[in-house]
Amino acid sequence: MVVAALLALGGFLGCQRSVTLMSTPVVIAKSDKSPFTANPNLEETNLIDVFFATNRIPLSPIPPRFYSTLPGPSIYLGKATVRMGGQNKDWETLYQLSTTDQEGRRPSLRLDKLDEQAIIRRNDRPTAPNPNTREFFNQINAALAQSIDKDLTVYLHGANSNMAIAAGQAAQLRHFTGRNSVVLMFAWPSAERGMRYFTDVTNARATVSEFAKLLEFLMRNTNAKHINILAYSAGSQVLSPGLVQFRRRYIRDPSIPLRLGEIYYAAPDLSFPAFARQLPQYIDMSRRVTVSVNMNDSVLALSSWVHGISRLGRPNSRELSKSDFDFLVKAAEKMDFDMISVQPEVIPGLARRSHAFWYEHPWVSSDVIMKLLFHLPPAERGLQRQLYQERFPFWTFPADYDRRVVEVLKGIGEWKASAR
């Protein structure tokens, strides 16, 4: 029974085994305004560039090289190029697929190239990066200077993932902002095998300090107005404790410029009680912390059974102490903490047990993009407030969300980053 559960969990948690272009977010498909036309420097190509960082130990001494599934103390930095469709896929077709709800076969997103450019080693200091590392951050700054969106978005993938899948998912985030957002994927060392889920859990834990270190490097050496972070599924096991460790770095050295923006947990595979204990240590450092939940999520139901405790993406409030629950209520009411309940019975076409809803469904992906680009709180993004146990406020998608979100965009005026 346990073996069968681990096989199922490792096979489904956090990843599809290949990446295809997700459905066009409804805010783009239903609007007469395209984020692509708002981009003054749009490259009309089927190639998408995202930056990458990884603590996977490389398999060869010099680039170009492959990266192992083992965690190490160094962080390797570079640029990943993702190709949409075949070698000669034309831009006109891709633009049509990316701006309408046109049905049909979606093109694949394949990793075309990994260009490693720098290494942050164990004893490197964020205040004095080596010349190659400094040049890497200069490239991020050059990309930010050319972008409407002045934020940097960091993406952490889920379990059972490889570099190609992580790059493809990060490329989705960049592409559907009209390529107006600069995106960096953090490729933590997933074991990439169905039966090795607990290896992924161990590797995520071993990666926390490297992620916190990378955050300090990004804070000190990039010009990003905010650093937004989206963690999917088991990526939350790196993000939440990583933010706790980053807080400790800041306590030791308050000269670190704090620029944490949106923190978004998508279907997080993280102990709910652990999150409740960790959140107070970093919530005041960010603009807003958001958790998206599907209480029918079959993957997290299985993960809860395997771990013996509920997951943040399918939480059980009875597992919390009174003080932890009271803090979450306070955070949701007064401290910019939002929990979004993704309800398949309301959202048309959403699979009841979906774990991948943040990119699979055009309503939820719309909300993610609106949040990252415009920093709008839930009510201003078209969501609707409800109460749990008459105390805890949470947010849902109303039945007319597709209409509401288009009206939100009309109120904003254009696809450009918020000045908030």
List the domain boundaries for the chain: 2-412
Rounded to an integer, the average pLDDT of 209-220 is 98
Long-range contacts of 341-350 (CB under 8 A, 24+ apart): 341/293, 341/294, 341/295, 341/386, 341/394, 341/395, 341/396, 342/292, 342/293, 342/294, 342/397, 343/294, 343/396, 343/397, 344/294, 344/296, 346/396, 346/397, 346/398, 346/399, 347/397, 347/401
pLDDT of residue 265: 98
Of residues 65 and 151, more confidently modeled = 151
Helix axes 197-221 and 131-146, enclosed angle (nearest 10): 80
Rounded to an integer, the average pLDDT of 314-320 is 96
Q: Which residues contact 340 (CB under 8 A, 6 or more apart)?
A: 290, 291, 292, 293, 367, 378, 383, 394, 395, 396, 397
Least confident of 54-68, 206-220, 300-314, 330-344: 54-68
Choose from 55-64, 81-90, 274-283 the range with maximum mean pLDDT.
274-283
DSSP per residue, 312-355: TTB--GGGS-HHHHHHHHHHHHHSSEEEEE--TTTSTT--TT-S
Q: Which residues contact 64 (CB under 8 A, 6 or more apart)?
A: 114, 115, 116
Could you tell me if 207 and 55 are in contact, meaning their C-beta atoms sit under 8 angstroms apart? Answer: yes
Look-up: residue for tokens 């809860």?
Answer: 304
- Name the pLDDT band for 87 (thresholds 50, 70, 90): confident
pLDDT of residue 16: 52
pLDDT of residue 189: 96
Rounded to an integer, the average pLDDT of 153-160 is 97
Could you tell me if 129 and 221 are in contact, meaning their C-beta atoms sit under 8 angstroms apart? Answer: yes
- The pLDDT tens digits for 193-209 are 667 899 999 999 999 99
- Name the pLDDT band for 61 (thresholds 50, 70, 90): confident
pLDDT of residue 60: 86
pLDDT of residue 196: 82
Max distance between CA atoms of the chain, in angstroms, equals: 59
Q: Which two tokens stand for residue 9?
A: 């969990």
Rounded to an integer, the average pLDDT of 258-265 is 97
- Name the pLDDT band for 3 (thresholds 50, 70, 90): very low
- Name the pLDDT band for 105 (thresholds 50, 70, 90): confident
pLDDT of residue 413: 82
pTM above the 0.85 mark?
yes
Strand 182-187 and strand 152-156: the pairing is parallel
- Name the pLDDT band for 4 (thresholds 50, 70, 90): very low
pLDDT of residue 192: 81
User: CA Rg, the chain, in Å?
Assistant: 20
Above 90 in pLDDT, residue 123? Answer: yes
